[in-house]
Structure 1
Amino acid sequence: MVFKRRDKPPVLVRLREWVYPRRGYRRGIEYLGHRVRRLPDTPHRIALGFACGAFISFTPLFGLHLVCGVGLAWLLRCNVMASLIGTLVGNPLTFPFIAGLSLTLGRRILGHGVSGRDFGRIAEAFSQAASGLWESSLSLFGFGHPQWQKLSLFVYDMAWPYMVGGLLPGIVTGIASYYMVRPIVTAYQARRRTRMLRRAKTRLDAAPTHAGEAE
């Protein structure tokens, strides 16, 4: 291909770039802000759509955040594209904080308690879930027996506390996102309308002059 890089970077370098881009996150954030402002919709629908995506970022539905963001935006009749952009609130930089807060809060709410043994229990839950998925997948081809019950520890110690604990911070983040995005979009659209009216007026003022020169 013409645009394919000849010097393909090593896997570790590409992984580092994915987690922390060479030019930092500022440029990406500025670009996303620019895209949100330019969406063709009302400030309310754009801000609400972004809030939906931000809220979904606090759920443990990894791999389904985009789908769930679109679904929630469709239910609330707001901007779907803004919800897709809003899901980027959850990214490699913020996920450790989101997961830590959601799990800690969820385990306290459910009465699981929070102690130094939590990391070991969560690691064991991931291990059991991976083992159960692998053995159950092999059983589909006639190897062994399904072990779906091994997923119960993952659901009990990880997924359910994460879901419960992520509701409150997700709602708070969604509300804060709405009231942050809406005035930004409103101001941008007002400035854009003003520029368009000024350009239209300039063209109208210039039209008689050209007509006189033609005569």
Structure 2
Amino acid sequence: MWTRFWQFLWPRMGWRRYATYLRHRLVRMPGTSHTVAVGFAAGAAMSMTPFMGFHFILSAALAWFLRGNILASAVGTIIGNPWTFPVIWVVTYEIGCWLLGIDAHAVSIRGHTVAEVMHDPWGILSPVLLPMVLGSVPAGIVVFFAAYWPAAKIIDRYKRQRLERQHRRALAMMERMAAAGATTEERKNAGQD
């Protein structure tokens, strides 16, 4: 259990190789480059919400609504991870406070016990959660488009190159077959003379 948790925080293979692995997973998913990119972007956008534990469900719902690839949305939620969540939460909270017109530093949830939070979670957490939810909307929209365009280009390039490779292989095979057929035909004709 601790090994999995540690691997989630710090991949054994290294961050670059992990990113390459995720890229390979993404470009090889079934569907058009648009549907896979929409799914990936939906996952990235839903990672901006403060609803930890529900990002997969929310991203799958958004991908389904936008007719994107649901599996790609799960890959897109990797944007939200223990390294990026603190930054995401601060940014969405600041944006939400700005949209609501309240001072971001006036609210504090410090000093409450776990029992108090469990007894009245909405009353204690709403001063922080409401701005975060509101701030996650514009942040999610920006992240959606920031994730969609590069993903669509990467996936499209991969699929185009793969199709070109398959086409070249098919042509080479046809040429070999034609050469082998011509050789056989020449032998037949030579034997009849």
Give the alignment's TM-score, normalised by structure 2: 0.84
2: CA distance, partners of 1:35 / 1:206: 34
> Structure 1 residues 75 and 15, CA, compared in 2 at 3 Å: closer, same or farther?
closer
2:93/2:104 contact within 8 Å kept: no
Q: Could you say what secondary structure the match of 2:49 adopts? A: coil
Distance 2:110 2:172 in 1: 66
Where do residues 1-215 of structure 1 align in structure 2 (5 Å cutoff)? 11=2, 15-115=5-105, 118=107, 121-124=108-111, 127=113, 131-133=116-118, 147=119, 150-211=120-181, 212=183
TM-aligned CA distance change 1:152 to 1:169, over 3 Å: same
Equivalent residue letter for 2:131: P
Determine helix, strand or coil for the equivalent of 1:21: coil
Q: Indicate the SS of the match to 2:109.
A: helix
The sequence identity of aligned pairs, in percent, is 33
Rounded to whole Å, the distance in 2 between the matches of 1:154 and 1:66 is 26
Classify 1:72/1:23 alpha carbon distance in 2 versus 1 (closer, same or farther; 3 Å): same
| 1:138 alignment partner in structure 2 | none
Letter of the structure 1 residue corresponding to residue 60 of structure 2: V
In 1, Cα distance between equivalents of 2:143 and 2:48? 9
Secondary structure of 2:110's counterpart equals: helix
In 1, the alpha carbon distance for the partners of 2:126 and 2:158 equals: 46
Shift of residue 107 of structure 1? 2.3
AA in 2 matched with 1:174: F
Counterpart CA distance in 1 for 2:159 and 2:41 is 19
Distance 1:61 1:194 in 2: 43
The one-letter code sitting in structure 2 at the alignment partner of 1:34 is H
* d(CA) in 2 for partners of 1:107, 1:175: 23
Kindly provide the CA deviation profile for residues 97-154 of structure 1, in whole angstroms up to 9, marking residues without a partner as x: 1011111221232233122x64xx23346x45x5453xxxxxxxxxxxxx3xx11234
Contact 2:109–2:125 at 8 Å: present in 1 too?
A: no
Evaluate the alpha carbon distance shift between residue 14 and residue 170 of structure 1 in structure 2; reply closer, same or farther with a 3 A threshold.
same
Alpha-carbon contact 2:9-2:82 (below 8 Å) kept: yes
CA distance in 1, matches of 2:116, 2:69: 40
- The verdict on how the C-alpha distance between 1:37 and 1:14 changes in structure 2, with shifts beyond 3 A counting, is closer
Measure the CA separation in 1 of the matches of 2:21 and 2:73.
16
Q: Separation in 1 of the partners of 2:32 and 2:7?
A: 35
Q: Distance in 2 between matches of 1:194 and 1:18?
A: 36
What code does the residue aligned with 2:76 have? G
Q: CA deviation at 1:14?
A: 6.5
**Residue type matched to 1:59 in 2?**
T
Pick closer, same or farther for the CA change 1:123–1:181 going to 2, 3 Å. Answer: same
Q: Distance in 1 between matches of 2:111 and 2:45?
A: 28
